[in-house]
A and B are shown apart, each in its own frame.
Chain A
Amino acid sequence: MRVTRLEIRDFRSIRHLALDLGQTTVFVGPNNAGKTAILDALRIALTRRWGQRGTGFTEYDVHLANDTDDPKTSPGVSIEIVAEESEPEEWPAAISEDLDQIVQLDPSTDIRSIALRTKCAWNDDSGAFEPTWEFLDAKREPLVGRSARRVNLERFWRYLPVFYLGALRDVGDEFSPRSQFWGRLLKALEIPADLESRALRVLDLLNRHLLRADQRLQEIAATLSGTTRIAARDREGSLDLRMVPLKMWDLISKAEIILRNEPDSPWLPLPRQGQGIQSLSVIFLFQAFVEHLVRELYEQDSEPVLALEEPETHLHPQAARTLWDHVHALPGQKIVTTHSPYFVQRVPFRDLRIVRLTANGTEVRSLPASFSAKIPPLDGLETVVRQSAGQLHYENAPEILTVNGTLDENLYRPLLALCGAHEQRTRIEHALRDLRDRSSLHISDEELRTLETFARRMRGEIFFAVRWMIVEGQADYLVVHAVAEALNYNLDQHGVAVIDAKNNGSPDTFAALARALAIPWLAVFDGDNEGRNYVRSLRNRGFTDAELDRRCGTHDAGDLEAQFVADGLGPELREILTALQVRNATTLTDEALSARLRDHKTACAAALAARLRADPGLAQRTPAAFRAAIEQLPGLT
């Protein structure tokens, strides 16, 4: 069982968020965007003892739209957690049996789920923020009667224990005898009684030998025993020295990890290792804990949920890159935040969530495979769903219509036609239109596969970028960076990613990606046939002409090289070609010049970029489309 959906209302920077969660979900976004709030929402709502005094949220956790808002008048924090099977019979029988009173079964799909709503709002009578909870039925109405008994909440926790590893992982704390994983592992060790008694005898002997080793020890003991005389009682106390632990737990609790990185390096205890190793070791400690103890401490079928902040902390990029595979392979469900492009490189697109702070609070974007809307059970809906060849899916009780992929016209029209007589016609039509629009942002599996293949390297960085500038190739990439610098606008500093789309997929894919993730973007294409094809492919993606006008520039003179020549960069380019050992470079006609430039495309672009850096004034003769685009970037939405 895992958390499949998390809905958060009025919590810190979050006004309202509805998130689908996978086996591993990775949140990416700038500092203060709300990533930790998402992790905390889940962690606090699933905290054991929820609903008792001292648990729940505080007045600082309530989302406030502005300075003057009063947390006491807010509806309060609400966190809804849904755990749902991904296919019938996914959950072990014991879960359905043990949690029977809160399990919801969708009888038409045979899918089980559990929905828990926790709330924390100001209560005038008690003068405190009071935590409450309720399990929900398929229509999201609170379950009553025996389902509302607290024992159900406590059982639910046992199947979904939540663990949290913050960004600052201190080996000293995490490997202490009282820590959440290490300490419990040590305490769970079973030492056979005869071994224990033998060990204690040996220790006792050792202790006595050590005490006799240096006579001063006896003298020190004698001096110290003055303590017992001062704190006088009726009967005389005594004092002794202990050189080694004489109890099993004292011994075991001193267990420590030592390690060496190379076969011939010295063995060193963990706290003596580098920060990266320390941080990493805590993650593996969690794994050891889950493998050896979770089932013992909780239930046979418990699945831990790990909220993990910045697993890459202090790690070398290469290590960060391979870390994904380890994190993904950790037992249970993982909810991860990261700031590492290297880590993100291996994360599947569908598992990524882009978090940002907007005027409406924290917002999260992703690339879902399906889209849902609340639609009442219209007459004939069943037939349309049945005839959709699995593309549509309808859940009767919660009244949710889901479309896998894009809701295209041949499904949209028949759905629209069903609204005809319904009393809420306008509202339903609006919901369907909205569903169609949202689902038009769908990016297919196939396309994502292509991106996985070609765009792995750049994937890391583009998801951390604030704006995208899409260009055709590497030459454009080099020149655009130099032009921007010459115009005094540093692209890196402003979080602009320049995407040379041809090498990594196709421009329309990136534009679609940008739209789905709400990343402001623009593009500059060549004014040749190829460039016109790109614009056409964007139009096929459903971008309007007005939007394309706003976002897409083209070189009037044709391709990039023709544009350079037209812009009067001829003299410089002839010098560059000459330096590249091109014969007759100074005497070529303009057409021949463009042709030679194309032969040495990237090298020329690199050389031109170098000249631009040396002489920013040259920028005035660079392609107008580039300059216009760069000027547009700062205010781009």
Chain B
Amino acid sequence: MDNALESTLAELTDIQRRAVDWSAGPLLVLAGPGSGKTRVLTCRIARLLDMSRDQRFRVLALTFTNKAANEMTGRVRKLVPGLEERVDIDTFHGFCAQVLRQHGAHLGIKPDFAIYSETTDRQAVLDDALRRDRTHCAGCEDVRLLPLIDDLKAHLIEPEQAQEHIGHMSEWAAERVGAVEAAYRLYEEELRRANALDFNSLILEAHRLFAYPAMARHYQKVYRYWLIDEFQDTNKAQYNLLRRVAGQSFREIFAVADDDQTIFEWNGANVRRIGNFVRDFSCDVVQLPENFRCPPPIVEAANRLVVYNAVRATSKQPARSVQDHASHSDEGQIRYVEFDTDTDEVAGIADEIVDLDSEARSRTAVLARNRWLLERMHEALAAVGVAAVIAARRDDFVSPQMRWLVACLKQINRPLDRHNMAVLVEAFSGFAPSRIGRDSLASRSETDGVTYLTAWIDVVRQADLSPPATEIVDTIAELSTGNMKLPTAIQQILDCFGRDDPDEDLKDDLNAWRRISREIKTARGSTSLDRFLQELQLRSKEPVPAPGTVTLTTIHGAKGLEFDTVYLIGLAEEVLPSWQSVRNGSGSGALEEERRGCFVAITRTRKHLILSRARHYRGWSKAPSRFLSEMGCLGGQHPGNAVMGKGRS
């Protein structure tokens, strides 16, 4: 078959094909790890588009990461070239931002609002708000206010309804109900004044907009089919938004979930939400129990582990590996190693990894429950000369140079943004020492009738700058007056930054910048500055690891990834499962979430899984993790073909 869609559809299993072709209303696809859920989603989108070439309706697909959205967009484009125009694949936040840019006018939101994602920015907004009006919350500039406001917004609680909730939030809050409420209101007003929204606002404001039934009906009509990836990660606000847009009548909703991978309860995800969804939308359920990723012993271990959880989707079928048994050597598909101390553990693992070649290292990951252990691992690998990086989302660039560049671009795009101007000034002083007061800039801008940026350029040029600094300031000046095209200017500045031996942070950032601009170009084509900045804002700024780098990641960070070789370290009681969850008791939700974490971790494995534990962590003696025995890796219940080893002690 010459057609990409046809040939991909032909490769689907019967059950996958059934999900792709589903046309009988709401459907939940329960998809275990490695079951090809992204393939099902993209095939379904492509097929919906392909079957309606003479129609104009759109398809909406919501994901939880930009990475997933990018990947799906790329795959759909390959399957049905030219039709991807009719699908919007976006994160919940990205989708809400689009809706608000287009229709926010009805809530007093301007199309060109900025998105403040960083706590420092948002704290500055709150400080400004409180400075403006102290009467209602005298003496409450405490940093504790912002998390409370976030919490209210994350629960879609409007300022008017805030009072009754604040009392239940914490003792500290209960004593200051009036002040917290006032701070919330002032913070929201200040965001409006700054023409900005924060992440929680995106969901909250969209929820507010869809309170108009006509708006919800409009989206139901335009987006005739909705698909939701990783539904188990939906938090309450997102779910409520979804229900509001769907109204009473919308039926074409297709969600893919794995309740066993719900590990974001701290963020409001809830393993019971899948059940609510099935009930609220009267869903049918299709299961994809076949695991294409992991070897049979790992799938079996995962199955054994997860049945210990009481709260699971009813009648969930156990996963089965469809990897060809013969194609793998059975040797060492699961290995268990034990050490005396945490130091021994990380050193022992590092000793194993150092023997791998560069390509194998790139496909190897070390997973741990917490960051502390990863940092120990990082040190141990460094000690034996293995490159490793702790994967973590970066909301912002880390080098002052790149933070300054982004601030400049933002300022050109939104010349009146005072908050951003402060970032710009601060970042510049981080690599080109100069002292400019933010207030003096504002007054200069007013007296000379020029923009903040122009005023800053004038001031900074009078300072005694280094030649490279002079060069980049000149470039920005050229850009801001329209004398230089954007790509040229950015390239000049990047070249200048990269010229004389940039430090590690800057190197990382330059690397990340290249990756992000490439991603944006792939996903959106060539874009306006405004659009570029919007996309930049939403993307993580971590650099692409160099070849031969071992990935170190928390279990949460590993979600959605896969590696040939996975080391899951720290399998001890009060480490994994965490101390907190152990204290809550074996039947607790927290402990079940830990178990799901372990489940996610081991199912990242394509070939080899190594489980390890030490008898002592931070000097305290710890028992082996209960998950080890639950998986059948301890106490005689050995998986048939796994080889258990003993580490050095």
Chain A interface residues (CB < 8 Å from chain B): 88, 93-94, 96-98, 100-101, 103-110, 112, 125, 137-139, 141-148, 151, 396-398
Q: Is the CB of A147 within 8 A of B106?
A: no
Q: Is the CB of A141 within 8 A of B221?
A: no
A-B contact pairs, 30 of them (CB 8 A): A93-B57, A97-B55, A97-B56, A98-B56, A100-B58, A100-B222, A104-B102, A105-B214, A105-B218, A107-B106, A107-B209, A107-B215, A108-B212, A109-B214, A125-B483, A137-B104, A137-B110, A138-B105, A138-B106, A141-B110, A141-B112, A143-B111, A144-B112, A144-B530, A145-B98, A145-B101, A146-B524, A146-B531, A148-B531, A397-B106
Q: Is the CB of A141 within 8 A of B106?
A: no
Q: Is the CB of A396 within 8 A of B106?
A: yes
Report chain B residues within 8 Å CB of A142.
Answer: 111-112
- Measured in the bound complex, the distance between the Cα atoms of B112 and A254 in whole Å is 56
- Measured in the bound complex, the distance between the Cα atoms of B110 and A138 in whole Å is 10
> A142's closest neighbor in chain B, by CB?
B111
Report chain B residues within 8 Å CB of A98.
Answer: 56
Report chain B residues within 8 Å CB of A101.
Answer: 102
B87-127 interface bits toward A, Cβ cutoff 8 Å, 1 = contact, 0 = none = 00000000001100111111000111000000000000000
- Measured in the bound complex, the distance between the Cα atoms of B97 and A47 in whole Å is 32
> A151's closest neighbor in chain B, by CB?
B85
Report chain A residues within 8 Å CB of B530.
Answer: 144-145, 148
Report chain A residues within 8 Å CB of B85.
Answer: 151
Q: Is the CB of A148 within 8 A of B528?
A: yes
Q: Is the CB of B214 within 8 A of A110?
A: yes
Q: Say whether, besides A94-B55, A94-B56, A110-B214, A144 and B105 are in contact (CB < 8 Å).
A: no
A380 to chain B, nearest CB (A): 18
Q: Is the CB of A125 within 8 A of B212?
A: no
Task: Pick the contact of B111: A103, A107, A141, A151 (CB < 8 A).
Answer: A141
- Measured in the bound complex, the distance between the Cα atoms of B104 and A144 in whole Å is 12
Instruction: Determine whether B482 belongs to the interface, using a CB cutoff of 8 Å to chain A.
Output: yes
Q: Is the CB of B57 within 8 A of A141?
A: no
B72 to chain A, nearest CB (A): 17
> A301's closest neighbor in chain B, by CB?
B56
Report chain A residues within 8 Å CB of B215.
Answer: 105, 107
A155 to chain B, nearest CB (A): 10
Give the contacts of B366-406 with A (CB-CB under 8 A): none
- Measured in the bound complex, the distance between the Cα atoms of B484 and A125 in whole Å is 11
Report chain A residues within 8 Å CB of B222.
Answer: 96-97, 100
A134 to chain B, nearest CB (A): 10
- Measured in the bound complex, the distance between the Cα atoms of B342 and A28 in whole Å is 91
- Measured in the bound complex, the distance between the Cα atoms of B534 and A93 in whole Å is 30
B517-559 interface bits toward A, Cβ cutoff 8 Å, 1 = contact, 0 = none = 0000000100010110010000000000000000000000000
* Closest 7 pairs (CB-CB, A-B): A107-B212, A97-B56, A138-B105, A98-B56, A110-B214, A397-B105, A139-B105
Q: Is the CB of B103 within 8 A of A104?
A: yes
A121 to chain B, nearest CB (A): 14
Task: Pick the contact of B101: A100, A125, A143, A151 (CB < 8 A).
Answer: A143
A490 to chain B, nearest CB (A): 57
Report chain B residues within 8 Å CB of A106.
Answer: 106, 214
Q: Say whether, besides A108-B212, A143-B111, A144-B112, A93 and B221 are in contact (CB < 8 Å).
A: yes
Report chain B residues within 8 Å CB of A105.
Answer: 103, 214-215, 218
A437 to chain B, nearest CB (A): 29
Q: Say whether, besides A107-B214, A125-B483, A137 and B531 are in contact (CB < 8 Å).
A: no
Q: Is the CB of B102 within 8 A of A143?
A: yes
Report chain B residues within 8 Å CB of A94.
Answer: 55-56
Report chain A residues within 8 Å CB of B221.
Answer: 93, 96-97
Q: Is the CB of A145 within 8 A of B56?
A: no
Q: Is the CB of B111 within 8 A of A144?
A: yes
- Measured in the bound complex, the distance between the Cα atoms of B113 and A144 in whole Å is 10
Task: Pick the contact of B105: A97, A103, A110, A141 (CB < 8 A).
Answer: A141
- Measured in the bound complex, the distance between the Cα atoms of B101 and A141 in whole Å is 10
Q: Is the CB of B534 within 8 A of A145?
A: yes
Report chain A residues within 8 Å CB of B218.
Answer: 96, 103, 105, 107, 112
> A147's closest neighbor in chain B, by CB?
B102
**Chain B contact residues (Cβ within 8 angstroms of A): what range?**
20 to 34
B195 to chain A, nearest CB (A): 10
> B525's closest neighbor in chain A, by CB?
A149
> B482's closest neighbor in chain A, by CB?
A125
Q: Is the CB of B531 within 8 A of A144?
A: yes
B244 to chain A, nearest CB (A): 13
Report chain B residues within 8 Å CB of A148.
Answer: 528, 530-531
> B210's closest neighbor in chain A, by CB?
A107
Report chain B residues within 8 Å CB of A145.
Answer: 97-98, 101, 111, 530-531, 534
B151 to chain A, nearest CB (A): 28
> A396's closest neighbor in chain B, by CB?
B106
Report chain B residues within 8 Å CB of A137.
Answer: 102-105, 110-111
Report chain B residues within 8 Å CB of A144.
Answer: 101, 111-112, 528, 530-531
> A94's closest neighbor in chain B, by CB?
B56
Report chain B residues within 8 Å CB of A109.
Answer: 214
Given contacts A93-B56, A145-B101, A145-B531, 13 further A-B contacts (CB under 8 A): A88-B214, A96-B221, A96-B222, A97-B58, A105-B215, A107-B218, A137-B105, A143-B102, A144-B112, A144-B528, A145-B111, A145-B530, A146-B98
Report chain A residues within 8 Å CB of B104.
Answer: 137
- Measured in the bound complex, the distance between the Cα atoms of B214 and A107 in whole Å is 5
- Measured in the bound complex, the distance between the Cα atoms of B98 and A142 in whole Å is 14
A130 to chain B, nearest CB (A): 11
Report chain B residues within 8 Å CB of A138.
Answer: 103, 105-106
B202-223 interface bits toward A, Cβ cutoff 8 Å, 1 = contact, 0 = none = 0000000100111101100110
B48-76 interface bits toward A, Cβ cutoff 8 Å, 1 = contact, 0 = none = 00000001111000000000000000000
Report chain A residues within 8 Å CB of B97.
Answer: 145
- Measured in the bound complex, the distance between the Cα atoms of B217 and A106 in whole Å is 12
- Measured in the bound complex, the distance between the Cα atoms of B112 and A151 in whole Å is 20
Q: Say whether, besides A145-B534, A148-B531, A108 and B101 are in contact (CB < 8 Å).
A: no
B553 to chain A, nearest CB (A): 32
B648 to chain A, nearest CB (A): 57
Task: Pick the contact of B214: A97, A108, A398 (CB < 8 A).
Answer: A108
Report chain B residues within 8 Å CB of A396.
Answer: 106
- Measured in the bound complex, the distance between the Cα atoms of B211 and A108 in whole Å is 11
> A125's closest neighbor in chain B, by CB?
B482
- Measured in the bound complex, the distance between the Cα atoms of B221 and A514 in whole Å is 48
- Measured in the bound complex, the distance between the Cα atoms of B102 and A110 in whole Å is 16
Report chain B residues within 8 Å CB of A104.
Answer: 102-103, 105
B42 to chain A, nearest CB (A): 21
Report chain B residues within 8 Å CB of A141.
Answer: 105, 110-112
B533 to chain A, nearest CB (A): 10
B59 to chain A, nearest CB (A): 11
- Measured in the bound complex, the distance between the Cα atoms of B106 and A106 in whole Å is 8
> B483's closest neighbor in chain A, by CB?
A125
Report chain A residues within 8 Å CB of B531.
Answer: 144-146, 148
Report chain B residues within 8 Å CB of A151.
Answer: 85
> B112's closest neighbor in chain A, by CB?
A144
- Measured in the bound complex, the distance between the Cα atoms of B223 and A103 in whole Å is 14
A395 to chain B, nearest CB (A): 10
A619 to chain B, nearest CB (A): 65
Report chain B residues within 8 Å CB of A100.
Answer: 58, 222
- Measured in the bound complex, the distance between the Cα atoms of B107 and A87 in whole Å is 23
- Measured in the bound complex, the distance between the Cα atoms of B103 and A112 in whole Å is 11
> B224's closest neighbor in chain A, by CB?
A97
Report chain B residues within 8 Å CB of A147.
Answer: 101-102, 111
B545 to chain A, nearest CB (A): 31
> A100's closest neighbor in chain B, by CB?
B222
B48 to chain A, nearest CB (A): 13
> B104's closest neighbor in chain A, by CB?
A137
A102 to chain B, nearest CB (A): 8
Report chain B residues within 8 Å CB of A397.
Answer: 105-106
> B88's closest neighbor in chain A, by CB?
A146
Report chain A residues within 8 Å CB of B214.
Answer: 88, 105-110
- Measured in the bound complex, the distance between the Cα atoms of B105 and A106 in whole Å is 10
